[in-house]
Amino acid sequence: MPSRIVTLRVNDAERELIAKPSTTLLSALRESFGLMGAKRGCAQGGCGACTVLLDGRPVVSCLIPVVTVEGSTVRTVEGLADGDRLTDVQEAFVDHFATQCGFCTPGMIMSATALLDRNPNPAREDVTEAICGNVCRCTGYEPIVTAVLAAAERRRAAEGATELTEAEV
């Protein structure tokens, strides 16, 4: 099968690349677009280091042929922050020491972001289920779970403040 042009929306920008059928989404992100946040770990879908959001859902990008996601929307960890302003999840990871070596951190943040986008009030079990596909060899997971729960609380508090402000107007 010959190479073909693939168009994606990556971090809010339309992007194109010429891809072989064997080119993975991870390879496209790293090698064609220079986005190094998603890590190449096991290359078998087992570690979660390459997790990105594909049309809003967390996926391991090392297993997805990029030609199969033509026209999709991809969000990487680089596309989360607003300039220098970190997201609530990123801030919580910093505040709760949820990183050590940092290799798993982008994938963990993407899985946590997807969870909080669909469930603003997760239970501890929801968090552990959401990150179960992400392997961390350093933290013991406790700081990560704590950070995600703290991010959920921040997000709810911020939304409450926004609702109050809108109601006051």
pLDDT, one tens digit for every residue, the chain (169 residues): 799 999 999 999 999 999 999 999 999 999 999 999 999 999 999 999 999 999 999 999 999 999 999 999 999 999 999 999 999 999 999 999 999 999 999 999 999 999 999 999 999 999 999 999 999 999 889 999 999 999 999 999 988 876 655 555 5
Question: For residue 12, what pLDDT is reported?
Answer: 97
Question: For residue 33, what pLDDT is reported?
Answer: 98
Domains in the chain, CATH or no CATH each:
4-76 (3.10.20.30), 88-168 (1.10.150.120)
Question: For residue 163, what pLDDT is reported?
Answer: 63
Question: For residue 165, what pLDDT is reported?
Answer: 56
Question: For residue 1, what pLDDT is reported?
Answer: 74
HEC assignment per residue over the chain: CCCEEEEEEECCEEEEEEECCCCEHHHHHHHHCCCCCCCCCCCCCCCCCCEEEECCEEEEHHHCEHHHHCCCEEECHHHCCECCECCHHHHHHHHCCCCCCCCCHHHHHHHHHHHHHHCCCCCHHHHHHHCCCCCCCCCCCHHHHHHHHHHHHHHHHHHHHHHHHHHHC
Question: For residue 139, what pLDDT is reported?
Answer: 85
Question: For residue 48, what pLDDT is reported?
Answer: 98
